[in-house]
Amino acid sequence: MRARAGKEEQRIAKLLARAGIASRREIERMIAEGRIAVNGTAIDTPATLLTSLHGVTVDGKPVQAAAPARLFRFHKPAGFLTTERDPRGRPTIYDKLPPGLPRLVPVGRLDMNTEGLLLLTTDGGLKRQLELPATGVPRTYRARAYGEISQAQLEELILGIEIDGIRYGQIDANMERRTGRNVWIEMTLTEGKNREVRRVLEHLGLQVSRLIRTAYGPFPLADLPAGAVDEVRQHDLIMFRKSLEQGRPRPPKAERPA
């Protein structure tokens, strides 16, 4: 199918995922089962290129055009996995989310024992924008740790650090307060590699006992209660996406949780 002037062709799996039909993996399975058609003809590959969802049906029902992207803040409590389901039956964030929400996918992940701000979106494209290191969206954490550390050691993290062959980019780290050998540290980073904060602090000889994400980009956790969810205003989301397109992600406005 040829693209109309001014419209870019995209894979049907991507378009359907953005329209909230299912995840890309689920859509690939639906295509293999012959459940998705274009102008009455079942397609056989998720790589089919289209400019819109006009004429596309799923199980014989027309697909509506993708709604505007929506973004939600969720205060993830500790003890929940950031996944849709777990083969071992452990609780997931979807067990905690209230009913009545649209189909949401998490932006990045938080470890099971990490708490705080988790962004959820209806749009796969927005999810990737927020996650890619190239966009430079800052994530801010507060960590409670046990052990000896100095502010000078923390400031060296601004140059990045290599641990077990893995290179971690610059981290803006500051000691907030110390009580005996317990210390609270605030850290802002833009890569978000797997377990990055814990690994860096453990490499410095600290034992992390609590980790809270307090902000993601300009969106703070603020006083959102644990387990609660609310929606980011469309105006704020539009302005943020414009800043990403201009290569100027806005800094975090983190506030300490209660």
| Residue 22: partners with Cβ closer than 8 Å, 6 or more residues away | 16, 30, 103
User: Residue 231 and residue 60: Cα distance in Å, rounded?
Assistant: 32
Asked whether the beta carbons of 213 and 117 are under 8 A apart, the reply is: yes
- DSSP conformation class of 194: T
- Distances in Å between the Cα of 128 and the Cα atoms of 4, 78, 164, 237 are 26, 25, 27, 15
Place of tokens 């907030």: 176
| Active site residues per annotation | 111
SS3 202: helix
- List CB contacts of 40: < 8 A, sequence separation 6 or more: 57
CB atoms within 10 A of CB 1: 12
Distance from C-alpha of 177 to C-alpha of 179, rounded to nearest angstrom:
7
- At position 84, the amino acid (one-letter code) is E
